[in-house]
């Protein structure tokens, strides 16, 4: 598992700051977890992202954003 700390990025007029990102093993069930986190914590200005790792399809990148 690798942990990354990322800076902010601007989308439109709203700045989105990536708080942390980690590489984890690919698991299709992770999308369900991310959807639940997003629907539960959006009022607290947190958004969660999940993407395939660009270097390896066996890894995913999970990112926490503050919006």
- What is the residue range of 59's domain? 2-66
Of residues 32 and 2, the one with the higher pLDDT is 32
Q: How many domains does the chain have?
A: 1
Q: Mean per-residue pLDDT for 40-47?
A: 96
Question: What pTM was computed for the model?
Answer: 0.78
Instruction: Determine contact, residues 62/18, Cβ cutoff 8 Å.
Output: no
Sign (positive or negative) of CA dihedral 28, 34, 35, 37: positive
Residues 6+ apart with CB under 8 A from 60: 23, 24, 25, 26, 27, 30, 50, 51, 52, 53
Does the pLDDT value for residue 5 go beyond 50?
A: no
């Amino acid at each position: 598992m690798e942990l990354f700390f990322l800076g902010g990025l601007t989308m439109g007029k709203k700045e989105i700051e990536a708080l942390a990102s980690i590489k984890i093993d690919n698991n299709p069930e992770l999308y369900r977890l991310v959807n639940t986190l997003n629907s539960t914590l959006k009022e607290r200005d947190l958004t969660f992202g999940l993407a395939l790792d660009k270097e390896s399809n066996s890894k995913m990148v999970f990112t926490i954003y503050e919006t």
